[in-house]
Amino acid sequence: MKDYITGKRGLRAAAWITLMGGWVLLSLLVDNEVIVPGVGSTMSRLLVIVSGRDFLNIVGYTFLRCIAGFLASLLIAVALGALSRWSAFLRELMEPVLSFLSSVPIMAIIILALIWLDSQLVPVFVGFVMVFPILYETVYSSIVNVDGDLIEMAHIFGVDRRTMAIDIYLPAILAGIGRVSSSTLGTSLKMVVAGEVLAQPEFAVGTRLMLEKTYLNTDGVFAWIIVILLMSWVLKLSMDRIKAAWENKGWM
């Protein structure tokens, strides 16, 4: 097991080294900072960004929008997913809604949100719309796929609905959400940043990305991309910790 972990870390390190080497080589071949900035200039710009007065506000507000969109999607997905399990009408009603949300281009969603909502809410709405179908289907399938023998046994022993919901259905839902939580949070972050690029709220990573692009500061664009990657890593690490806590409590 130890050799496997060591080998996996070694491969991961080699992959990152290869990517960095490719970046350095490409920047040398292109020899144009506007097209492909060098590692040095990007890191210098990153230090300027991180040490900026508004950096924590920018990152913090983008995090809040991402989490708000995700939590709103999760709460509504749990409610509608559970109700759809016992309501054929609601399930049929949700089919065209899910199809619409999954098929419409993200740019169209953002444009509609810009018409309907304040610029501060546009990124939250975009994040909500893009992850809701995933979470809804996850909740619904988790409930549907609960072991039928377990349900039958609960009925035989006269287990009440509240106990069944807490001890049987809730762990199944949490396990399903746990499987997709990291990917959906990552998707939420990407969609929130995309919404920020067009909505241009005051404190937002997307707003700063657009500003760097406007002035052709490609090193700044690269630097903000690195910030987004680090934010995504923080979200994944946080969700892994939460899932570990769930498992320790026996909820998954």
Q: Tokens at residue 116, please?
A: 């309907």
Residue among 174, 201, 187 at smallest CA distance from 62: 201
DSSP type of residue 117? S
CA dist 142 to 146, 153, 168, 177, Å?
6, 19, 11, 9
Residue among 80, 79, 81, 61 at smallest CA distance from 69: 61
Give the HSE-up count for residue 38: Cα atoms under 13 Å, Cβ half-sphere: 7
- Helix ranges (H only) for 87-204 are 88-103, 106-116, 122-144, 148-156, 161-164, 170-199
Q: Phi/psi class of residue 216: alpha, beta or left (left: φ > 0; alpha: ψ in -120 to 50)? A: left
pTM: 0.85
What is the pLDDT tens value at each position of the chain, 252 positions in all?
A: 455 455 677 787 888 888 888 888 988 888 788 888 988 899 999 999 999 999 999 999 999 999 999 999 999 999 999 899 888 899 999 999 888 888 888 888 889 899 998 888 999 999 999 999 999 999 999 888 877 777 777 777 777 777 777 777 788 888 888 888 888 999 999 999 999 999 999 899 999 999 999 998 999 999 999 999 999 999 989 888 887 776 676 655
In the block, tokens 């807490």 appear at 166
